Chains A and B, each alone.
Chain A
Amino acid sequence: MLFFSYFKDLVGREVTVELKNDLAIRGTLHSVDQYLNIKLENTRVVDQEKFPHMLSVRNCFIRGSVVRYVQLPSDGVDIDLLHDATRREARGG
């Protein structure tokens, strides 16, 4: 639940999602769900020449199971808040 809540707080920010097939997509985080499926708006593929497969796509739904990384803006991370939340989660889990 921790990362679900964390991502909910990041809605509206620009992120880059790198997938397990090496595709990287930049866009605005529109929403996230319990499976950490991600919906991005205003999407651009990072290397458009190499991956023209999504040229006409501007909004997409990315299945959580296929995400390798989510690259965040550095001011999107409140380290102390995350530390506290992680400690709480570790204690409970």
Chain B
Amino acid sequence: MLGGPGLESVVDQLISVITNDGRNIVGVLKGFDQATNIILDESHERVYSTKEGVQQLVLGLYIIRGDNISIIGELDEELDASLDLSEVRAHPLKPVIH
């Protein structure tokens, strides 16, 4: 069984997860498995809206089931710090349709 592009390289780093229902959850990747189930520490959800700036909801320690994951992005903390999330207006992401 080939490992391929594992998530090994992003363990203990801040990541941004886009879930199949269109949510964006940011946290520190603590663990993962072959099914892409992940353990996310210090996580918070970023809620995007067209009417107000990005809302951040604290979640804590989460396990996210791999079935429900679309994208795992390596968050560039410098870039992220330069963003003013209170000024960002956007439609929430669409859910995945298979």
Query: Size band of the A side of the interface?
Result: 20 to 34
Q: Which A residues touch B51, using CB under 8 A?
A: none
- Out of B22, B36, B76, which one reaches A63, CB within 8 Å? B36
Interface of B is mostly: loop
**Considering the chains assembled together, what is the distance between the CA atoms of A73 and B76 in angstroms?**
27
Q: Nearest-CB distance from B3 to chain A (Å)?
A: 7
Q: Which A residues touch B2, using CB under 8 A?
A: 33-34
Q: Are A60 and B74 in contact (CB under 8 A)?
A: yes
Name B73-98 residues within 8 Å CB distance of A. Answer: 73-77, 79-80, 83, 88, 90-91, 93-98
Give A50-68 as 1s and 0s: 1 = Cβ < 8 Å from B's Cβ atoms.
1111111111111101100
Q: Are B4 and A53 in contact (CB under 8 A)?
A: no
Binding site for A on B (CB under 8 A): 1-7, 10, 16, 18, 20, 22, 24, 36, 46, 48, 66, 69-77, 79-80, 83, 88, 90-91, 93-98
Binding site for B on A (CB under 8 A): 19-23, 25, 30-35, 37-39, 43, 50-63, 65-66
